[in-house]
Amino acid sequence: MSNIVAIVGRPNVGKSTFFNRLIQRREAIVDAVSGVTRDRHYGKSDWNGKEFSLIDTGGYVLGSDDVFEAEIDKQVELAIDEADAIIFMVDVEAGVTGMDEDVAKLLRKVSKPVFLVVNKVDNAKRAEDAVEFYSLGLGEYHTIASINGSGTGELLDALVEALPEKEEIEEEELPRFAVVGRPNAGKSSFINALIGEDRYIVTDIAGTTRDAIDTKYNRFGFEFNLVDTAGIRRKSKVKEDLEFYSVMRSVRAIEHADVCLLVLDATRGFDGQVQNIFWLAERNRKGIVVLVNKWDLVEKDHKSVKEYEKAIKKQMEPFTDVPVIFISALTKQRIFKAIETAVEVYQNRAKKIKTSQLNDILLPIIENYPPPAYKAKYVKIKYIMQLPTPQPQFAFFCNLPQYIKDPYKRFLENKIREHFGFKGVPISVYMRKK
C-alpha cells in the first residue's frame, strides 16, 4: 500500500507544476489510460522503485486570497493528519510571507517528515536569496525549479528515504468492498442498514488503516470485508466542507479495495466531488457500483430513474458501463441488491477469458471494422490475449500499434464488454507489436 505525500503552500508558488512533473513522468509510461483523466490533484508517482500517492492540496481551494487564508490552515492540518510526509513549498521570488509563517508554525509541531522546498531557484543569485527561509524554523531546505525540474532528484531521494516502510498486511484474501462518497451522502447509514444488529456479522477487525473500519460480512454465501471510510474520525478535526478531505480519505480506501461502492445523495446529484472520487476509483482500475441514496426523498414520476441514470452516465463518459442502483439506507430499499451487484462486479474484475474465445469472437468483428488506415498504411490486428493481471487488461497484437488511436481502442473495449460482460470494471486495452 503506498504512502501519501501532500504538497502544501500558499497559491502560485508552483505546487501544481511540481505535482504535474512528478505525475506525468509516471503516467506517460505506466498509465496509458484511454480517455481523459479529470481531476489533476491526485496521482501516483514513484522514485527509486518506491511508489507513493501524491496530493496537491492547492487544487482544492479556489477563491480569493482571504478565503484561502482560512482554508489553507485547514488543509495543512488535514495533510498533517492524513499524509505520511509533507512537502511545504515556498517561492524564492516572494520571499518569506506572513502566510508562509502561519503554515510553518503548524508544521513545526509535526512528528512526520516535513520537506521545506524553495521553488523557482534557477540561478546562483536566487540560491543565495533562499537562505532567508531558515527563519521559518524548519531546518534544512531543498531548492528546486519545478518548471525545468532542477533539484527535484535530490528532493525525491530524501523524500523516499524518509517515507515509512508500509508493512504488507498479510490477511485472508477476502474481497474488499469500500464504501466511498462525499460527507453526508449516507455512507454510514448504508453500512448500518446492512449490518444493523445483524447476525450476519462475523467479526469486527480494527481498521488496518486508521481511517477505515473493516467489517467482515457474510451474505449470499459470500464473505467479504466492508471498508467504511466514514469510520473513525476525531470529531474536533472534521472539516466537513472540505472537498480535499473526502478525497484524501477516499484515496487510502480506494487503493485498498477491489470494488468501490460510491454512495451519492440523490438530492445533490453526481457533482464535482463525487466525480473526483469516481475518477479516482477508475484510475486505480477498481470495480465501481454507484449507489444513489436518499431516493425516497426525490419527487418521482415513471421516467425519473431512467432520466437520472442517463444524466449520471453522461458525466461518466467514456466509462459508462457501470451499474447504478437507487437505494434508501433509511428504508433499506434495495440495499442487498447493492451488495449482490458489488459481488457481480468483483467477479467480473477477476474474470479470465480464454484466448481462443477472444480470437474467435473479436477477430471477425475487427475484420469487418478494421482500424482506419493511417498515411495509406493498413493496420492489421492478428491476435488477442488477456494479460495475467489482477484486473482485466487485453493485448491486441498488430503490425503498426502506434497508429491505433483512442476512438478505435474504445470501440474494441466496447466489443469486449458487449460479448464478455465486464460491467462495473475499467478495462485496459494495449496495442503491441506482433
Is 228 labelled as part of a ligand binding site?
yes
Tell me whether residue 84 is annotated as binding.
Answer: no
Residue-wise DSSP of 37-103 = ---TTEEEEEETTEEEEEEEGGGG--S-HHHHHHHHHHHHHHHHHH-SEEEEEEETTT-S-HHHHHH
Determine if residue 424 is labeled as part of a ligand binding site. Answer: no
Asked whether residue 98 is marked as a ligand-binding residue, the answer is no
Residue 258 marked as a ligand binder = no
The burial of 103, by beta-carbon neighbours within 10 Å (0-12 exposed, 13-18 middle, 19 or more buried), is given as buried
The reply to whether 285 sits in an annotated binding site is no
Q: Is 210 annotated as a binding residue?
A: no
Name every residue whose Cβ is closer than 8 Å to that of residue 163 and which is 6 or more positions away in sequence. 3, 5, 50, 52, 84, 85, 113
Q: Is 296 known to sit in a ligand binding site?
A: yes
Q: Is 9 annotated as a binding residue?
A: yes
Task: Take residue 352 and report the three cell numbers written for it.
Answer: 479470465
Q: Is 123 annotated as a binding residue?
A: no
Indicate the burial class of 320 (C-beta count within 10 angstroms; 0-12, 13-18, 19 or more).
Answer: middle
121 three-class SS: coil
Q: Is 121 annotated as a binding residue?
A: yes
| 206's grid cell | 480494527
The annotation status of 16 as a binding-site residue, yes or no, is yes
User: Is 184 known to sit in a ligand binding site?
Assistant: yes
| 152 marked among binding-site residues | no
Task: Tell me if 90 sits within 8 A of 13, measured CB to CB.
Answer: yes
Task: Give the dihedral sign, CA 313/264/76/12.
Answer: positive
Tell whether 181 is in a known binding site: yes
57 has binding-site annotation: yes
Residue 293 annotated as lining a ligand binding site = yes
231 is in an annotated binding site: yes
370: annotated binding-site residue? no
Residue 86 in marked binding region: no
Is 100 known to sit in a ligand binding site?
no
CB of 86 closer than 8 Å to CB of 113: yes
Residue 97 annotated as part of some ligand binding site: no
Share of the chain residues as helix, strand and coil, in percent rounded to the nearest 5: 40, 25, 35
The answer to whether the annotation marks 13 as part of a ligand binding site is yes
Q: Residue 15 annotated as binding?
A: yes
Q: Is 49 annotated as a binding residue?
A: no
- Any known ligand binding at 95? no
Query: Which segments are annotated as binding site for GTP?
Result: 9-16, 56-60, 119-122, 181-188, 228-232, 293-296
Query: Which segments are annotated as binding site?
Result: 9-16, 56-60, 119-122, 181-188, 228-232, 293-296
